[in-house]
Structure formats: structure tokens, C-alpha cells
Amino acid sequence: MNFAYTLTRSNRKTIALYVRNGGVEVRAPLKAPKRDIDKFVASKEKWITDKLASSNQRLEQRENFSLTYGDSILCRGNEHPIIAKLGGRIGFDDERFYMPPDLDSDQIKYACVQIYRLLAKRDLSRKVLDFANQMSVTPIAVKINGAKTRWGSCSSKKSLNFSWRLIMADDDVIDYVVVHELAHITAMNHSERFWAIVESVLPDYKERQKRLKELQKKLSAEDWG
């Protein structure tokens, strides 16, 4: 089987394959012969077929993603129901996401995102403060954004940014992302020194990384906008 793919050449030494959003991307060295690239792609036929099937399934799930009253969504690793509550307020009472009745699916989703943003700002700010004291670093700000594929970042000015989606993760996983970004205040790259800092605070950080990837996979099939 011949797969259509997009080719990106760069100053790299090996050929690499990626399957994203139902398409195949190949990254290859600048001087790699096209026939060698085609041969490499052909040798990965089963892997590509499986990945495309999985990718297409996630795309279909994303297209069909919707929320309604009675559905349960994640907050700090636990599922909580969405309920209708008389009045004009939205919120989370540690057990349920509540919002006015008679909202349509898009309005329910929008309300949930607004609640998530508030919870993320509150809870992540607290965690940053606790771990910053433990690690003897001082971030200048904690901001919440809507990043879809990046859980957190640390600017050169020591400002921390986190995706509101992180509030869906287990507390242990949230702690890992917070510590990861705080460690960048001391070491801006992912050097051995950086990982040593992370490990000194969270010796099991690699296990937490795996759980973060599991959440990323789950969210890749959910269209939160």
C-alpha cells in the first residue's frame, strides 16, 4: 500500500514518521533520496495503518463530543456530574458542576470551561506557592491560558503559564507539571541539572509523566474548543 504523506526535510540524521489528525508526516535528512524515504514508509505499513485507524477514531469522537446535564467530567482526577440549578450562577461545589437549566450543549461546554478556568487559577496558584517555597524559587506570576497541547510553560521573566485543562488531572500529576515549570526558573532547558531538580522534589516524576500522557490521549478525543 502506498501512503500519501507530507515530507519535511531538515538538518537531521534519521527519517521519522508521525501520524496526526488523520495524516502522515515524514521528516527526513536534507539529502535523503526519495526512494529511500518511500521504502522506509512502506516498511512501516502496519504501524501507519494502525495509527491512522486510531487517529481517525479520535477525530470521529471529537466531532461527536458534546455535553449535557447528567454527564460527568473530570476535576482533579475525579468524575463529577453536571447538574441544572435554578438561578443564573455557575460553579463547582466539590461534588457537582452546576449551572442554569435549559442550556444547550455548546452553552454547557462553555460554562464548564469557565468553571475550569476559575478552579485552575485558584488551585494551581496555591500549588505553585507551596512548591515555590519548598524549591526556594519565586515566580513573578501565575497565569491560566487555553493551550491545547502544552500543559505549562515558564517565561524568561519567571512567569508561569498553565492550561486550564490541567485541572482535570490527578493532584499528583498536577504537582508534577507545577514542579516541572518551577524547575525552569533555575534551569531553563531540559538538561541533567533540570531533571535532577525535578527528581529531588518528586522522585517518582516519570510515573507521573506517564499518567499525564494518558490524560493527553483522553483529551485528544474531546473537543473542548
Question: If you average pLDDT over residues 103-125, what whole number do you get?
Answer: 98
**Set of cell numbers at residue 48:** 501507519
Instruction: Determine what percent of the chain is predicted with pLDDT higher than 90.
Output: 84
CB 139 within 8 A of CB 153: no
Find the distance separating the first CA and the last CA of the chain, reported in whole Å: 35
**Is the pLDDT score of 72 beyond 90?**
yes
Check whether 1 has a pLDDT greater than 60: no
Name the pTM for this structure: 0.81
How is residue 79 written as a grid cell? 468524575
Whole-number Cα distances in Å, 50 to 19, 27, 36: 10, 19, 22
Residue identified by cell 519548598 is: 134
Of 57-71, 122-136, 188-202, which range is least confident?
Answer: 57-71
pLDDT digit string, tens, across residues 23-61: 899 999 999 999 999 999 999 999 998 888 888 888 888
Query: Residue 3 above 80 pLDDT?
Result: no
Looking only at the bridges linking them, the beta strands covering 23-29 and 16-20 are antiparallel
In whole numbers, what is the pLDDT of the chain averaged over residues? 94
Question: Counting Cβ atoms within 10 Å, is residue 195 exposed (0-12), middle (13-18) or buried (19+)?
Answer: middle
- Condensed to tens digits (0 to 9), the pLDDT of residues 155-178 reads 999 999 999 999 999 999 999 999
At 91, phi and psi to the nearest 5? 175, -175
Kind and range of the H or E element at 117? Answer: helix 105-135
